[in-house]
Amino acid sequence: MFLPKLFLVFYTLSLFWKKNECADNRKFPSEFKFGVATASYQIEGGWNVDGKGENIWDRLTHETNLVKDNSTGNVACDSYHKYKEDLALLGDLGVDFYRFSLSWSRILPTGYIDGQINDAGVKYYEEILSELEKRGIEAMVTLYHWDLPQKLQDDFGGVLNDTFIEVFANYAQLAFELFGSRVKHWVTFNEPFIICQQGYENGLKAPAITKAPGIDLYTCAHVILKAHAKAYRIYDKSYRKTQNGKITIVLNTDWFEPASSDSKDLEASERKLQFQFGWFAHPIVYGNYPQVMIDRIEERSIKEGFKESRLPKFTDNEIEDIKGTYDFIGLNHYTTTLAEWSTDIAIGKPKSTKDISVNIFKNSSWEGSASNWLKVVPWGIRKISKWIKDTYKNPEIIITENGYSDVGGIFDDSRRVNYYREYLSNVLKAIYDDGVNITAYAAWSFLDNFEWLNGYTEKFGLYSVNFSDPERPRTPKSSVNYYKNIMATKCLVDQCL
C-alpha cells in the first residue's frame, strides 16, 4: 500500500531539517543549476509504434536471455504516451533542466538521413521541448544513449566501421536543425567507455559482441571520437551563432583511490583513470590518447605478435580536428573503487584488462546499494572532480549523472536522501575549497526505469513506477521532497551560510 503523500512530505522535511554534521552548510552559487536525467530506451517504451525502427536494445532483449529478469524496454515507463504527465512532475519538482536522449530510430527508423524521416517521432520530441519551454525548464539533449538503429549494426557493424562517422554526423545535423533553437546543451555520446568496453569486450551491453577482445573496443572508441568531433564541428560552424548552445561528450568514471600510500598504488590509480576517463578526455582536450595507453598497448601488442599496436592511431589532421571538441565536460559518477598495483599480466590472448594490469576492488565496509558495483563513497566525487580540473585545464564540469539504487517498492528512501546530501556536500567542497568549476548537477534518475541487463531489479528513480500496472503509475519517494528543497534553497541543511 502506498504511503500517504502528506506523510511523505512531513517525513522528508524532517530529514531535511535534521542537523547533519557531515553535510556542508554553504549554499550553492546562485547560478548553479539542478536537474534530473533519463535515457530514451530506459523510459519511453513504444518500441514499435508510430513508425519507430528497431534498435540494438530491442534486438538484444527480444532475441537473447541476457537480461536478469527476462524483461524488455517494450513498454518501460511508457513515457512515449505519458510524457505530459512526466513533464508536469518535472515542473512540480522544480528542476532547472532536464537531460533526456533522443531515440535515433524513432526519428530515422533505418538510421540513415536518406531514409524516411519519421514525422511522429519528430513531433514527439517537439512536444517534449514545447512542454519544457512552457515550464521554464532547459533541455539537455543526448544524441546517442546506447540505442543504435539495428539496420546500421546489420549493414556495416555500427561503431566498428568508419562509415558510422558520416551517418552519425547526418543524424546530428538533422537534430540540430529540427530542435536546436530550443536546446542549449547537447551531448553527442553518453559514456563511450561503456559503449565500447561493455558492448564489444565483455558483452554486458548491446550489441554484446565479444569476438575480438582487446581489439574491437579500441576500434569502437576511435570511431566514436571521430564521429563526436565531426558533429561538434558541424554545430560549431553552422549552428552555434544562431542557436547559442553548448556541445560536449559525457564521460563516466569511478574515482580510483590508491589502495595504499605506496607509490606503486598511486601509479596504478593514475593508470586506471587514464585507461577509463583519459581514454576519451585526453583526445578531446589534447588531441591524442594518454601516453600510458599508447605505450602499454603498443608494447603488449608487439609481444603478442601483432605488427602494430591494437590501439589505432590518429592522423595529424584527426588530432587537430578532435582537439578542443568540448564546451564543458559531462561527468557521470556514482562510486569509488580501490586501485592496487599489479605485476603485468602475462602475454597471451589480448584483453583490455591485461593492458591495464591493475587490481581493482571495493572496501567491504563501504555502504552498499541495490547494485553490487555501487558503494556509497561521497568523497570520491570531490576527488574525481579535482583530478579532472588538474589534469584537463580546469574545464567547466556538469555532473550529468549521479544517483543511488534501491530494489523497488521503497518510498521511505532515506538512504537515497543521505546519498544526495553527502555527495552534494562534496560537490560544494570541490567548488569552494578546490576551485573546481562545477556549474550543474543532474540526479539519476527521474523515474525508476529499465536498468539495462538488470532489467527492473534495480531502481534509481526519485519517482517509483509500478511496472506491474499497465497504467505505470508514478509515486514520489521521500527523496523527491528533499531534492525539491535543495533546488528551492540551494542548501543541503537547515541553516546555510
Does the annotation count 191 as an active-site position? yes
Q: CA-to-CA distance for 32 and 368, rounded, in angstroms?
A: 29
CA distances from residue 423 to 8, 21, 326, 351 in whole angstroms, order as listed: 22, 14, 25, 34
Only one residue has cell 519511453, namely 44
The catalytic position among 54, 131, 138, 191 is 191
Q: Are 275 and 257 in contact (CB under 8 A)?
A: no
All residues at 6 or more sequence positions from 185 whose CB lies less than 8 Å from its CB, including other chains: 97, 99, 138, 139, 140, 141, 245, 246, 247, 248, 398
Query: CA Rg, the chain, in Å?
Result: 22
Q: Are 443 and 420 in contact (CB under 8 A)?
A: yes
State the cell numbers at 461. Answer: 528513480
Half-sphere exposure of 312 (CA within 13 A, CB side): 21
Of 275, 319, 265, 276, whose CA–CA distance to 297 is shortest?
275
**What's CA 450's distance to the chain center, in Å?**
15
Q: CA-to-CA distance for 139 and 101, rounded, in angstroms?
A: 10
The DSSP letter of residue 489 is H
Q: Are 255 and 336 in contact (CB under 8 A)?
A: yes
Output the DSSP codes for 26-60.
SPPPTT-EEEEE--HHHH---TTSTTPPPBHHHHH
Does the annotation count 401 as an active-site position? yes
Determine the residue type at 129: L
Helix (H/G/I), strand (E/B), else coil: 224? helix
Query: Checking DSSP bridges between strand 474-476 and strand 463-465, what pairing results, if any?
Result: antiparallel
Of 98, 152, 151, whose CA–CA distance to 129 is shortest?
98
The catalytic position among 131, 257, 401, 458 is 401
How many helices, marked H, and strands, marked E, lie in the chain?
19, 13
All residues at 6 or more sequence positions from 339 whose CB lies less than 8 Å from its CB, including other chains: 256, 257, 258, 259, 265, 268, 269, 271, 272, 358, 359, 360
All residues at 6 or more sequence positions from 345 whose CB lies less than 8 Å from its CB, including other chains: 353, 354, 357
Residues carrying an active site annotation: 191, 401
